[in-house]
A and B are shown apart, each in its own frame.
Chain A
């Protein structure tokens, strides 16, 4: 990104937030929430000893005190292994979707949310020391696949909470059920870990703990 583009981005974000502040209490629009995920980041750092690192931010807009169109962006890097080989990958991911506040009395401060997401990730990855089993002849051949790029797409159903802590600050969590839409094409090596999705399985679970600020 050039310096000129960076300045334009900053101006665009400031314009949106100033608009959010000015019109934040209308009947239709009740502000923008910016959230930083801490739960997933800390969990992955602790569990994998930083071999997997995942970072993400989320932005949503509250409309009509009940509907929250959401954009989530993140980045992950993974060095992980299974019985058949090692995966090294780095990539970004994004999710778009909608949350709905399910509390009977619609409000803007404490929310019980359910929603859906469509997620996609693009990553560069390589597979190393992939095992070729040959038990009778007792040959132990290892194969490496060079760096390639792959995109994956999945869907999510989410449920979570958002509660006000102090002034504009709030926190909350999301539980996610994920289903992979991209299928493994026959015999082509595919990434073992997918940024924003987790390990490659047909279905997966996720958890986020957010700290956020409402503009």
Chain B
């Protein structure tokens, strides 16, 4: 099992990674972040994307879908933004990993696969 620091470093090791944050979406506060330098403020990204995650959860509620969100992919002109929700463990924390990737350098399929592994290993 990896701790938060290790998991964030592994995420930043992915090809094309711009920044990564581990976010508590009950408050929008970050448990940790790396990168983002000069491109985006990761704490702002965390707070703003908390609303994205909440909106999707609300959408599922309205649709009456008894299902969970595995990940959310947002494609910009020059970036990929990957949001991966952590499987709620014993503590019942509501957390997600937020990863920004450079579109021209990243391999989306590989990044998504590796993010799944990092998330599975992450112990908060």
The reply to whether chain A is a binding partner of chain B is no
Q: Report A's interface with B, CB cutoff 8 A.
A: none
Q: Report B's interface with A, CB cutoff 8 A.
A: none
